[in-house]
């Protein structure tokens, strides 16, 4: 992994405000990836979700896990020029709120991977406690 970039912008087409990863901490191409997202409190969604009690929307936590998994896929040269897109979410469980100041550790392991798409198991944790865990289904489209 030492020669792989840990900057998610080098792997993903996402850009702020929709890049929901600050850095990658581990990449095993085609197998798994891990990263980190720190919520500073000035993110675009906090003022409306919820006024007086800012909470990270669960769907954005799922998206951050998916972005982490996309790095694992795109780091495999077999999938160069492809774009992983959501195909579905299964068994999502939300266990704790994520609030301003939290650092979310993200992990996604590919459980199925083919030329057409696959599945991954992901989780987001804060201080060692699971915030969300889910199975994610994705398809692979051509990036251009």
- Each domain of the chain, given as residue ranges in start order, spans 8-142
How far is Cα 95 from Cα 105, in angstroms, rounded to an integer?
14
The model's pLDDT over 49-106, given as tens digits with 9 standing for 90+, comes to: 999 999 999 999 999 999 999 999 999 999 989 999 999 999 999 999 999 999 999 9
How far is Cα 58 from Cα 4, in angstroms, rounded to an integer?
29
State the pLDDT at residue 2: 57
Catalytic entry in 14, 26, 36, 49: 49
Residue 121 annotated among the catalytic residues of the structure: no
Angle at 19 between CA 14 and CA 20, to 5 degrees: 145
Q: Which CATH superfamily, name and number, covers 8-142?
A: Hotdog Thioesterase (3.10.129.10)
């Amino acid at each position: 992994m030492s020669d792989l970039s840990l900057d998610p912008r080098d792997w993903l087409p996402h850009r702020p405000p929709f890049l929901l990863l600050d850095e990658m901490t581990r990449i095993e191409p085609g197998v798994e990836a891990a990263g980190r997202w720190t919520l500073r409190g000035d993110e675009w969604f906090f003022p409306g979700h919820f006024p007086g009690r800012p909470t990270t929307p669960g769907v954005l936590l799922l998206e951050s896990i998916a972005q982490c998994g996309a790095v694992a896929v795109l780091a495999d040269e077999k999938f160069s020029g492809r774009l992983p897109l959501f195909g579905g979410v299964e068994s999502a469980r939300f266990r704790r709120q994520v609030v301003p100041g939290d650092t979310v550790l993200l992990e996604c392991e590919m459980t199925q991977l083919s030329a057409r798409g696959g599945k991954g198991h992901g989780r987001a944790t804060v201080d060692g406690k699971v915030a969300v865990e889910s199975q994610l289904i994705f398809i692979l489209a051509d990036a251009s």
